[in-house]
Amino acid sequence: MNFPDATRVFLNQTGEISRFAFRFFRQGLRTRYEWQELLRQCYIVGYKSLPLAALTAFIMGLVLTMQLHPTMVYYGVEAMIPAMVGISIVREIGPILTALIFAGKIGSSIGAELGSMKVTEQIDAMEVSGTNPFKYLVVTRTLASVLMLPVLVILSDAVSLYGSYLGINLYEQVQFNLFFKQILDSLAYQDVVPAIVKTFFFGFAVGIIGCFQGYNSSKGTEGVGRSANAAVVVSSVLIFILDLIAVQVADLL
Residues engaged in binding other proteins (CB under 8 A): 113, 116-117, 119-122, 124-132
Nearer to other proteins, 119 or 234 (CB): 119
Nearer to other proteins, 125 or 237 (CB): 125
Q: What are the φ/ψ torsions at residue 120 (nearest 5 degrees)?
A: -95, 20
b/e map 133-168, b = 16+ CB within 10 Å: bbbbbbbbbbbbbbbbbbebbbbbbbbbbbbbbebb
Closest approach, Cβ 122 to other proteins, in A, equals 5
Nearer to other proteins, 116 or 156 (CB): 116
Closest approach, Cβ 194 to other proteins, in A, equals 37
Closest approach, Cβ 19 to other proteins, in A, equals 17
Describe the crossing of helices 176-186 and 140-169 by its angle, rounded to 10 degrees: 120
Nearer to other proteins, 122 or 216 (CB): 122
Closest approach, Cβ 215 to other proteins, in A, equals 14
Residue 125 CB partners (closer than 8 Å, separation 6+): none
Closest approach, Cβ 23 to other proteins, in A, equals 15
What size, in residues, is the chain? Answer: 253
Nearer to other proteins, 113 or 157 (CB): 113
User: How is the chain split among helix, strand and coil, in percent rounded to 5?
Assistant: 85, 0, 15
